[in-house]
C-alpha cells in the first residue's frame, strides 16, 4: 500500500510527515507556502484501503502494489481551505504567501523536509490508482 499525501483528522498526537508539514504551515512555524502540488488521500479512505487489504483472500494481493490517492491539490488551495475553516477558531498564523524554487533552493541544504520536496516545486503531480 502506497498512500499519497495523507490529509484529515488525527486520532492521536503522533507526528507523521503529512501531519507535521501541515501543522508547521498552519501554526506559523513555516511562514511561506511552497509552490507544491501533490496527490492527497483522506486518512479515513487510506485506513479503509488498508482494512480491505487485510480482509482480502489470503495470497490474492501477493506481490501487488497499490497507490492510494484521490485528488491532487496545490498547497496554497489546501491551506486556503484550512484558513477558511479554522481562522475564526484561533488558527490565525496560517502561511498564505507562496514561494517557488529559488527561495526553497536556498533552504534545502539546511532542512531535510525542504530538500525532500524541492524536486517537486512547481510541478503538477497526479497519481492514477
DSSP 79-120: HHHHHHHHGGGT------EEE-HHHHHHHGGG-HHHHHHGGG
What is the pTM assigned to this prediction? 0.77
79's grid cell = 491551506
pLDDT for the residue numbered 18: 67
Distance from CA of residue 91 to its chain's centroid? 19
Cα–Cα distances in Å, from 54 out to 35, 41, 44, 57, 63? 36, 19, 15, 8, 14
The 10s digit of each residue's pLDDT in 116-126 is: 889 999 999 99
Query: Residue 59 CB: number of other CB atoms within 10 A?
Result: 7
Domain residue extents for the chain: 2-9+17-120
Fold of 2-9+17-120: Rossmann fold (3.40.50)
pLDDT for the residue numbered 24: 82
Residues of the chain falling short of pLDDT 50: none
Amino acid at each position: 500500500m502506497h498512500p499519497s499525501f495523507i490529509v484529515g483528522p488525527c486520532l492521536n498526537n503522533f507526528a507523521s510527515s503529512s501531519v507535521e508539514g501541515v501543522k508547521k504551515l498552519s501554526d506559523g512555524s513555516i511562514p511561506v507556502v511552497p509552490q507544491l502540488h501533490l496527490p492527497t488521500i483522506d486518512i479515513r479512505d487510506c485506513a479503509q484501503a488498508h482494512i480491505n487489504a487485510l480482509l482480502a483472500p489470503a495470497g490474492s494481493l501477493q506481490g501487488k502494489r497499490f497507490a492510494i490517492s484521490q485528488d491532487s491539490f496545490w498547497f496554497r488551495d489546501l491551506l486556503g481551505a484550512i484558513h477558511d475553516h479554522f481562522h475564526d477558531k484561533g488558527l490565525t498564523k496560517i502561511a498564505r504567501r507562496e514561494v517557488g524554487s529559488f527561495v526553497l533552493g536556498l533552504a534545502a541544504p539546511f532542512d531535510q523536509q525542504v530538500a525532500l520536496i524541492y524536486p517537486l516545486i512547481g510541478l503538477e503531480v497526479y497519481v492514477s490508482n
